[in-house]
């Protein structure tokens, strides 16, 4: 179990550094109008200085709730789960075991892009429900409308890392 006062082991430190860097990269790559907190209360200010009325207030409230869940709550639970798993693992003694251990930690850190893919599944499947007002921010050439493809990539990012770490530390 992960305790607050315990010092971090090598695997936890490596994971925490790479996960936090990649989490910041993922958040910076999100569409610019994803968090409409100001627009809900005041409206959007146009470039000419006039204020545009807020139209989809219910849609924006739903979007805030869903985006908070996908980009804040789930990554925090994932971080806790991996850090707890790493607190119970011992660094392998062989150099190739350590190499694959670092590969496993790196793959676990790539899990943040799985949350990004989950968001795009929501965009593709339910854009009319909570993204109606910002659909113009999504470029058709960059957005694949194939939700199953996004789901496959989410599984590839999220699933193999913990299995690699368990396999490496149990055999090496």
Could you report the per-residue pLDDT of 17-60, keeping only the tens digit for each?
A: 999 999 999 888 877 666 656 555 555 556 666 655 555 566 66
Instruction: Please give the C-alpha separations between residue 156 and each of 45, 117, 128, 147, 150, in angstroms, as whole numbers.
Output: 40, 10, 27, 14, 10
Determine the pLDDT at residue 77.
93
Structure tokens at 164: 């690699």
**Count: domains in the chain:** 1
Q: Which tops the pLDDT comparison, 74 or 164?
A: 74
Please name the helix (run of DSSP H) or strand (run of DSSP E) that holds residue 4, with its range, or none.
none
Counting every residue written for the chain, the total comes to 172
Calculate mean pLDDT across residues 80-100: 83
In a domain, 1, yes or no: no
In a domain, 4, yes or no: no
In a domain, 2, yes or no: no
CB count within 10 Å of CB 11 equals 24
In a domain, 68, yes or no: yes
- pTM of the predicted structure, to 2 decimals: 0.77
Determine the pLDDT at residue 97.
81
Q: Is the pLDDT of residue 123 over 70?
A: yes
Calculate mean pLDDT across residues 62-69: 81
């Amino acid at each position: 179990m992960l305790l607050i006062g315990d010092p971090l082991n090598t695997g936890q430190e490596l994971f925490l550094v790479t996960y936090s860097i990649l989490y910041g990269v993922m958040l910076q790559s999100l569409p610019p109008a994803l968090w409409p907190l100001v627009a809900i209360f005041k409206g959007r200010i146009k470039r000419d200085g006039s204020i545009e009325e807020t139209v989809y207030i219910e849609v924006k409230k739903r979007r805030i709730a869903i985006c908070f869940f996908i980009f804040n709550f789930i990554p925090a639970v994932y971080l806790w789960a991996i850090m707890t798993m790493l607190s119970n693992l011992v660094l392998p003694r062989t150099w190739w075991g350590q190499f694959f251990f670092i590969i496993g930690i790196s793959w676990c850190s790539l899990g943040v892009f799985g949350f990004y893919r989950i968001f795009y599944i929501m965009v593709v499947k339910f854009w009319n429900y909570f993204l109606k007002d910002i659909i113009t921010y999504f470029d058709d050439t960059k957005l694949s409308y194939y939700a199953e493809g996004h789901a496959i990539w989410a599984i590839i990012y999220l699933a193999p890392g913990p299995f690699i770490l368990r396999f490496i530390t149990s055999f090496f």
